[in-house]
Amino acid sequence: MNNQEARGILANLYSSILTDGDPACKREIEALRMAIETLEKQIPKKPIRIDKNKEFDGNWKKLCPLCGCVLMERITTSESSYPRYYNYTEHCRCGQAIDWE
């Protein structure tokens, strides 16, 4: 079983507990919600690419899909064009797994 399958099973269990509406299950519901959020962060997501303006001039940013922090950006000057890496790792500071492929 992988993280995505486990997340799906827990989400279904969470929905069924909420549907039953048993107030005695508040702690279990909170634990399931936290587990789902944690597993969701472990499923790699692609960074969001933002072009700096409507007319593409070679500059762009790649942001974390969860928290929006800048992971990488392309800087273009009159002399050169180069990427600037802020967080080129498998995980963002917020814990979200990043898929760089």
C-alpha–C-alpha distance, residues 58 and 61, integer Å:
10
> What are 80-97's pLDDT values in tens digits?
777 787 777 888 888 899
* Domain range for 86: 44-101
Q: Which residue has the tokens 């000057």?
A: 77
Confidence category of residue 54, pLDDT binned at 50, 70, 90: low
Q: Looking at the 3D structure of the chain, how many domains does it have?
A: 2
Question: Do residues 49 and 15 both lie within one domain?
Answer: no
Residues facing 62 on adjacent strands:
49, 72
Question: Do residues 57 and 95 both lie within one domain?
Answer: yes
Q: Which residue has the tokens 């069924």?
A: 16
Burial (CB count <10 Å: 0-12, 13-18, 19+), residue 21: exposed
C-alpha–C-alpha distance, residues 87 and 69, integer Å:
9
Mean pLDDT for the chain? Answer: 82
Q: What is the pLDDT of residue 97?
A: 92
